[in-house]
Amino acid sequence: MKGNKSLGNNLYAFKLGLSISPKRVAFSGIKTFLRYFEWLFFKIFFIRYIINAIMAEKTFKELATVIAIFCGMFLITTIINTYYTQVLEPLTATDIYQKLYKRLFAKAKNVELKCFEDAEFYNSYTMAIDNSADRVMSGIDSVFDIVFGVIAGFISLYALFTIDKMSVLFIIFPMIGNFFFGKRLNKMYGKRYEDNVLNDRKTQYINRVMYLSDYAKEMRLSNVYNIVKGQYKEATDDTVDVMNKHSKDGIVNNWLQNVFTFPAVFEGIMLYSVYRAMISKTIGIGELAVMFTIMDTASWIIFSMYRNIVKAMENGVYLNNLINFMEYKETIPEDQTGIIPNTNIESIEFRNVTFYYKEDAPLIQNLSFTIKGGETIAFCGHNGAGKTTILKLLFRLYDPVEGMILVNGINIKEYELKSYRRLFATAFQDYKVFGTSIFSNVTMGREDISREEVQKALRKTGILDAVNQCTEKEDTVLTKEFNQDGVVFSGGQTQKLVLARVFAQPAEIKIFDEPSSALDPVAEYELYQNILKEKQEHTMIFISHRLSSVKDADRIMMFEHGKLIEEGTHAELMQSNGKYAEMYMFQAKNYLIVE
């Protein structure tokens, strides 16, 4: 992580806001200018003019005219402020939310998969999106607050200096209170927030678990509620510990900040003014009123300036996470340019590929194999053998630590990533469905898939009849997340729906990862018959623990601990009587009916 450059981070937010909503930035500047203008003009110059005019015995008509002009100016500024707060502010806020989160989500989609599996990075991402739009808008306001606050501060100090040179010294106290103790308090707030990020994630997760229907059955049919409740208590207890850990520093610094910022200034100025009027008798009652009004207003302007600087510093701490996330340089960027791949697949080759998260725990070890275009290949092996990891490497969700992967003889790192990934249609075993229509869940955003192709794919997986029974057919919304009338399919039906994605996608390489794990034997048999029909036009790879379903593959690859230990046809592997034959015979026994 980069160092915290709090004030500079607000400037970054200002520039980001300017690129998103110039209107918001412009009117934020106008609003801030008018606020300081009102303070200076009405509370210093206007009051000073009226008191001096009365003492100079100006006519009532002259005073009434000036007051009328001032009232007119006040009404104009009030109209502008009201229009900003009631109309422009909510409208531009929505615009910033939409466009900023669009950028954040695009960035999140562009970073490589390993980032989401890295706890430190994921915490940073969580903090980056946490109220990020509010932070950006606060950064915009902070820049104007500081700029106009400094200008107004100098003007008010000058006005104070023209009345009493010594009174300016009182401004030292809020400087100490805000820049020293306020800075320490702000640092504590940032550290407390970072220390509590994991606890916040835990409580948010448990909140989701408690209201999502996905978890309702387990909650009622087991004692898992007690575990979840224990996790919630642990998270809240840790939150209390975090608060207690920082409470002493918070109390001390907050108290000292307030003492130096308020009593030392306001009561000090009041006492000094009374002294000059009653003891030294160096000013009269009129001058006392002017002096006290200007001192009070100047102090509030200076205090506001310091407070805005401290607020900007605090906001900068949170913006630091947003900036670090937005400036993160992806190792496998989704928008990577390169060679457009040939859609005629001739070969897929793993050449001495090694991959690991930790060097002492390799998942794939010096792996080499070749798949010819048009082949149907089955990956087999026990859990943890590396089968799914091989697919993730093939998709460039990860890159090998050593070796290379080639498609049509070209290192896949040289291809334009989006075009390369369009070569594949995949159904992972840990599939997800989305709270949108059945049609969209099958096409997954591809606009080149027709309704007829979607229906054909649904028929191949055996889910079309169930879809046609829905009120809106393929336009029916899945899940009840956003629609009370949404459909919730069974586990087997959901898997069939996900598998339809592979059949519908116009991809050259079709990959099925444990495609029948939730299906009954009849549905499994029909599915594999349709999968094998696909091999006439595509290169096929599928992973299955059920070896009875892979017999008809052109070639079977058996993996163990990230290594290819056997390969061949079903007959060849059974004849060699190795690991594959052992696993196949063990599974076959489970299908025998014992009388």
Conformation bin of residue 367: beta by default, left when phi > 0, alpha when psi is -120 to 50: beta
Closest CA to 11 of 310, 301, 315, 307: 315
Q: Which two tokens stand for residue 584?
A: 């196949």
Conformation bin of residue 333: beta by default, left when phi > 0, alpha when psi is -120 to 50: beta
- Is the four-CA dihedral 447, 448, 452, 458 of positive or negative sign? negative
Block residue for tokens 């002492």: 360
- How many beta carbons lie within 10 A of that of residue 374, not counting itself? 15
- Strand order of the sheet with strand 509-513? 424-427, 509-513, 539-543, 376-380, 555-560, 563-568
What pLDDT score was predicted for residue 1? 38
CA distance 24 to 90: 10
Which residues of the chain, if any, have pLDDT below 70? Answer: 1-4, 168, 171, 175, 178, 211-214, 216-218, 220-222, 262, 264-266, 284-288, 518, 590-595
The yes-or-no answer to whether 336-423+507-595 and 430-506 have a common fold is yes
Q: What is the pTM of this model?
A: 0.67
Conformation bin of residue 57: beta by default, left when phi > 0, alpha when psi is -120 to 50: left
**Which fold would CATH assign to domain 336-423+507-595?**
Rossmann fold (3.40.50)
8 Å CB contact between 516 and 528? yes
Tell me the angle at which helices 89-110 and 285-326 cross, rounded to the nearest 10 degrees: 30
What pLDDT score was predicted for residue 593? 45
Residue 274: CB partners within 8 Å, gap ≥ 6?
none
Determine whether 264 is exposed, middle or buried from the number of CB atoms within 10 Å of its CB (0-12, 13-18, 19+): middle
8 Å CB contact between 581 and 573? yes
CA distance 350 to 367: 7
Domain boundaries, the chain: 20-326, 336-423+507-595, 430-506
Query: Does domain 20-326 correspond to CATH entry 1.20.1560.10?
Result: yes
The secondary element (H helix, E strand) that includes residue 564 is strand 563-568
**Which fold would CATH assign to domain 430-506?**
Rossmann fold (3.40.50)
CA distance 121 to 506: 35
What is the chain's alpha carbon radius of gyration, rounded to the nearest angstrom?
Answer: 35
What pLDDT score was predicted for residue 555? 92
DSSP helix/strand/coil, 563: strand
Q: Which two tokens stand for residue 18?
A: 């300017």
Cα separations (Å) of 358 from 75, 355, 361, 362, 364?
67, 9, 5, 7, 12
Length reported for the chain: 595
**pLDDT tens, position by position, 537-555:** 789 898 887 777 788 889 9
Residue ranges of alpha helices (H) inside 333-486 are: 387-394, 417-421, 438-443, 451-461, 464-468
CA distance 544 to 380: 6
What pLDDT score was predicted for residue 535? 72
8 Å CB contact between 374 and 408? no
